[in-house]
Amino acid sequence: MSFTPLPDTRAPVRVWTDPDAIEEQALRQLRNIGALPWVEGVAVMPDVHFGKGATVGSVIAMRQAVSPAAVGVDIGCGMSAVRTSLTASDLPDDLAPLRSAIEAAIPVGFAKHDRMVDPRRLRGLEQGGWDDFWRRFDDLDRRVQQLRDRAQHQMGSLGGGNHFIEVCLEQGGDDEGRVWLMLHSGSRNIGKELAERHMAVARGLPHNADLPDRDLAVFLAGTPEMAAYRRDLWWAQEYARRNRAVMLALLCNVLREHLPQVRYDEPISCHHNYVSEETYDGVEVLVTRKGAIRAGAGDLGIIPGSMGTGSYIVRGRGNPDAYCSASHGAGRRMSRNQAKRTFTTEDLAAQTAGVECRKDPGVVDEIPGAYKDIVEVMAQQKDLVEVFAHLKQVVCVKG
């Protein structure tokens, strides 16, 4: 489908789903965003749902301004995936030991590595720039300097919530049954701490006093507040990218220990909570993708469903109406608390049948039934991406 314009907004708000299906809270947020004087336009993805300040599943193009709450607290959150040489027949019948090995190698939840991961000892990991990257920690907001040790030991760790690590099988086509590795994570605690500090600063600036939602407070170009935020933002986005790269290298090593014959293709990696400098129709804008991936022409990206429904590797079509973007996943159709009230562990077991994963009360809020139908979400964005590969998980690790 093509987009539907949302009426009665100052800036164009283009919607890639049925506007009547969007919850009222999210519609109110979208209209608030479209009313901001700095906004050039908004693209709304089919996985859109209510978020803090800005809707999750929105792409916001601003001139000379950026809203830290629109980026969110998990700066640089995104996905990485790699196709292996293995097929389903190479995997053991019992996948529980493989899941246990992954959980032993990669800390989940609030956990961190006992020792800082040494990139030089990880096969397949890019070696460049690590010393300079950690040196630049000293340039960050002074209020996070005491978090350096924690940030270093959380490098290469998963986190909790909707973050995951999966072993998947390709569905259909010439590569039916090919094994993929996939993971979803971001900038861990350090990204959250940086985001919250800058969000608090933005809310206190005079030019944000009369906004319809103080969580949409912005920094303006040419100000020291904007310079400080962009410095910390770029660093946190790099932290998230390197965090996923370390985890993927650890994950590849785990599989290599179990199946030494494995070989790997080039990895795919994409942010879906981040800011990028881009140009459309000759206008330079700061594009914030909050729950959206870049889908420029030919770009490979990753759109996951939920822990029982599978995922998609996609190739972007470069649609400028959507600021060359696509959805970041299926998107929640109910809150975590509502999911816990609605579903049981028995429901979770039924909906994740055939997947080696946790099936306990701690992950009921991540049950597939709490998410939108990924097949429908993909159908609504055919003019944004084409499917490169359809994957179905057989192992899922959650924090």
Q: Is 68 annotated as a binding residue?
A: no
- Per residue in 90-125, pLDDT (tens digit) is 999 999 999 999 999 999 999 999 999 999 899 988
Query: CA 154, CA 173: separation in Å to the nearest integer?
Result: 38
Domains located in the chain, CATH noted: 4-333+371-398 (3.90.1860.10)
Angle formed at CA 396 by CA 160 and CA 180, multiple of 5 degrees: 120
Query: CA 202, CA 36: separation in Å to the nearest integer?
Result: 15
| 291 neighbors 273 (Cβ within 8 angstroms) | yes
Q: Is 166 annotated as a binding residue?
A: yes
Both tokens of 124, joined, read: 């397949």
**Residue of 49, 271, 328, 390 with catalytic role:** 328
- Predicted TM-score (pTM) of the model is 0.96
Both tokens of 208, joined, read: 């944000």
Q: At what angle do helices 96-105 and 224-258 cross, to 10 degrees?
A: 140
3-state helix, strand, coil in the chain (%, to 5): 35, 25, 35
With cut-offs at 50, 70 and 90, classify the pLDDT of residue 52.
confident
- Tell me the three state secondary structure of residue 259: coil
Q: Show the DSSP H helices in 77-117 as ranges.
A: 96-105
Which element (helix H / strand E) includes 225?
helix 224-258
From the list 370, 257, 381, the residue with the least C-alpha distance to 314 is 381
Please state the φ and ψ torsions of residue 356, each to the nearest 5 degrees: -80, 105
Tokens 């209510």 — which residue? 50
Give per-residue burial for 296-335: e unless 16+ CB within 10 Å, then b.
beebbbbbbbbbbbbbbbbbbbebebbbbbbbbbbbbbbe
Q: What is the mean pLDDT of residues 5-9?
A: 93
- Tell me the three state secondary structure of residue 293: strand
Tell me whether strands 178-185 and 78-87 are parallel, antiparallel or unpaired.
antiparallel
Known catalytic residue at 328 = yes
Both tokens of 98, joined, read: 């493989």
Q: Is 49 annotated as a binding residue?
A: no
**Residues forming a β-bridge with 180:** 83, 168
Asked whether the predicted pLDDT for residue 1 surpasses 70, the reply is no
Asked whether the predicted pLDDT for residue 394 surpasses 60, the reply is yes
- Per residue in 196-241, pLDDT (tens digit) is 999 999 999 999 999 989 899 999 999 999 999 999 999 999 999 9
Query: CA 213, CA 87: separation in Å to the nearest integer?
Result: 50
| 28 neighbors 258 (Cβ within 8 angstroms) | no
Tokens 């193009």 — which residue? 61
| 45 neighbors 292 (Cβ within 8 angstroms) | yes
- Per residue in 268-322, pLDDT (tens digit) is 999 999 999 999 999 999 999 999 999 999 999 999 999 989 999 999 999 999 9
Both tokens of 364, joined, read: 């009921």
Both tokens of 100, joined, read: 């246990």
pLDDT score at 165: 98
From the list 199, 218, 208, the residue with the least C-alpha distance to 40 is 218
Both tokens of 308, joined, read: 């029982």
Query: CA 247, CA 183: separation in Å to the nearest integer?
Result: 8
pLDDT score at 53: 75
What distance, in Å, lies between the first and last C-alpha atoms of the chain? 36
Q: Is 208 annotated as a binding residue?
A: no
Count H helices, E strands: the chain?
10, 17
Query: DSSP per residue over 139-162, as a string?
Result: GS-GGGGGGHHHHHHHTT---STT
pLDDT score at 173: 87
Q: What is the mean pLDDT of residues 17-45?
A: 96
Tell me whether strands 39-49 and 13-15 are parallel, antiparallel or unpaired.
parallel
Query: CA 52, CA 58: separation in Å to the nearest integer?
Result: 12
Provide the percentage of residues in the chain whose pLDDT is more than 90: 95
Q: Is 163 annotated as a binding residue?
A: yes
113: Cβ contacts below 8 Å, ≥ 6 apart: 107, 153, 154, 155, 156, 157
Q: Is 329 annotated as a binding residue?
A: yes
